[in-house]
Amino acid sequence: MAFNLTVDGTAYSVDVPADMPLLWVLRDELGLTGTKYGCGISACGACTVQIDGQAVRSCVLPISDLSGEVTTIEGLGTPENLATIQQSWIDHQVAQCGYCQPGQIMQAAAFLAENPFPTNQDIDTAMAGNLCRCGTYPRIRAAIKDAARQMRGG
């Protein structure tokens, strides 16, 4: 079946079965590999993208259920034009293997857009679905707090 979708501001059309998860449309059909496969069952957050600004696990979203514009890590910012949160990730040297980080960053960015004054508790709750096997949590926490400060303009 043919589906139309908009990813990072670009319109695409794909011909895939209706139940194919968005993750695999992005990765294998469109070649947008920034979004990662980790578990396929919404248990790790590696595949997190934003749909109209909301964080969504793309591994369990059938393409037929997609409505809204998709933003992936590649669309959030680029090495030449970093989003505030990406700059904060770099300032705090968060990534180790880095594989979970696109999902962490997409989750954090969506969360901060809704909650500019997060408490530690808020951060914990918002980020608990994103697994990092390298254990970068202490630095993710610091980077989120710093990004929140900067996004508030302070």
Partner 1 sequence: MGRAGKIARRTFLIGSAAIAGGVAFGVYKLNQTPENPLVAGDGQSILNPYILIDQTGITIITPRAEMGQGVHTSLAAMVAEELDVRWQDIRVEHGPPGAAYANDVLAKSALLIKDFEPRSNLLLKVEDNLAKAPKVFGMQLTGGSSTTADGYHKMRLAGATARQVLIEAAAKRWGGDPAELQTHDGVVISSSGKTATYTDLAAEAALIEPPQGIPLKPKSEWRYLGTSMPRVDMVSKSTGTAQYGIDTRLDGMLFASIKTNPRLGGPMISFDATAAKSQPGVRKIVDLGNGVAVIATNTWLAMQALELIDFTWGDAPYPAESAEINATIAKAFEARANTTLRNDGDPDEVLSNANPDEIITAEYSAAYLAHAAMEPLNATALFEGDKLTIWSGNQAPVYTRQKVAKAVDLPRDQVTLITPLIGGSFGRRLEFDYSIIAARIAREMPGTAIKTTWSREQDMTHDFYRPAAIARFRGLMSDTGPIVFDGKLATQSAVQSFAGRLAGLPVFGPDRVLVEGMYDQPYGIANYRVAGHIADLDLPVGFWRSVGNSHNGFFHECFMDELATANDLDPLAMRLRLMQGVHAPSAKVLERVAAMAGWTGKSGKNIGRGVAFTYSWGTPTAQIVEVRDTPNGIRITKVWAAVDVGVALDPRNIQAQVMSGIIYGLSAAMMGEITFSDGQVEQTNFPDYDALRMDNSPDIAVEVLENKDRITGIGEPGVPPAMPALANALYDLTGKRARSLPLNQHFDFA
105 binds, among partner 1, ligand FES, none (CB under 5 to 8 A by kind): partner 1
Is 57 an interacting residue with respect to ligand FES (CB under 6 A)?
yes
The dihedral over CA atoms of 73, 79, 80, 86, expressed in degrees to the nearest 10, equals 60
Q: In what order do the strands lie in the sheet with 48-51?
A: 10-15, 2-7, 70-71, 48-51, 54-57
Distances in Å between the alpha carbon of 66 and those of 5, 16, 43, 55? 8, 13, 20, 13
Contact partner at residue 47 from ligand FES, partner 1, none, CB < 5 to 8 Å by partner kind:
ligand FES
Phi, psi of 116, deg, nearest 5 = -75, -15
Q: Least CB distance from residue 8 to ligand FES, whole Å?
A: 19
Name which of residues 85 to 124 contact ligand FES (CB under 6 A): 95-101
Query: Is there binding between residue 127 and ligand FES (CB under 6 A)?
Result: no
Binding mask 98-137 for partner 1 (x = CB under 8 A): xxxxx--x-----------------xxx-xxxxxxxxxxx
Question: Do residues 45 and 131 touch, judged by C-beta distance below 8 A?
Answer: yes
* Contact call for residue 38 and ligand FES (CB under 6 A): yes
How many CB atoms neighbour CB 67 within 10 A? Answer: 8
Encoded tokens for 147:
């990004």
Q: Which residues bind ligand FES (CB under 6 A)?
A: 37-40, 42-47, 57, 59, 95-101, 132-134, 136
Q: Which residues bind partner 1 (CB under 8 A)?
A: 16-17, 20-21, 23-24, 27-29, 31, 33-41, 43-44, 46, 72-74, 76-79, 82, 86, 89-90, 93-102, 105, 123-125, 127-141
